[in-house]
Amino acid sequence: MTRFTVNGQPVHYRMDPATPLLWALRDASNLTGTKYGCGAGLCGACTVHIDGQPVRSCQVPIGSIEGSFVTTIEALSRDRSHPVQQAWVAENLPQCGYCQSGMIMAAAALLDKNRDPSDEEIDAAMTNICRCGTYPRVRRAIRRAGR
Ligand code: FES
């Protein structure tokens, strides 16, 4: 049994400790805002925060995060008042939308560390892939959210 905290709630999963966090969140906790893209740590669609750091949940075995604090897009968007979420809406950012929960989690983690990132810092932090090519709007939204 693996125990940690998800969005402020204690969880204990009776799953193989090697199960990727992505699948525990989606299948056991029904937190389906975290998306499966590549399953290989490349695309970032599955980004969540663990102890405040952005991580690709498809690459994190649940057995490795005992006692940690996990935050998903559901917690970040709970009351629709998070500055990143508001900036995403203001910039009319998503196109197909599939990658956007991971993008938002990565952006929120960046802004927690740096409220005024340069374009270079944004590009370095935002390694998530968007097949619609929303990258210019992502930059604008991050700058807006940091104001
Ligand atoms: Fe995890 Fe692509 S699904 S990085």
- Per residue, the 3-state secondary structure of 124-146, as one string, reads HHCCCCCCCCCHHHHHHHHHHHH
Please tell me the predicted confidence (pLDDT) of residue 81.
Answer: 82
| Percent of the chain predicted with pLDDT > 90 | 94
Domains of the chain, first to last: 2-76 (3.10.20.30), 83-146 (1.10.150.120)
Q: Does any ligand 1 atom lie closer than 6 A to the CB of residue 43?
A: yes
Q: What is the pTM of this model?
A: 0.95
pLDDT(1) > 80: no
User: For the chain, give me the number of helices (H) and strands (E)?
Assistant: 6, 5
Residue 77 pLDDT class (50, 70, 90 cuts): confident
Mutational test site, ligand 1, from 21, 32, 46, max ligand atoms within 8 Å of CB: 46
Q: Does any ligand 1 atom lie closer than 6 A to the CB of residue 39?
A: yes
User: Mind listing the pLDDT tens digit for each residue in 80-124?
Assistant: 789 999 999 999 999 999 999 999 999 999 999 999 999 999 999
Distance 108 CA to ligand 1 centre (A): 18
Q: ipTM higher than 0.90?
A: yes
- 20: alpha, beta or left? (left if phi > 0; alpha if psi -120 to 50): beta
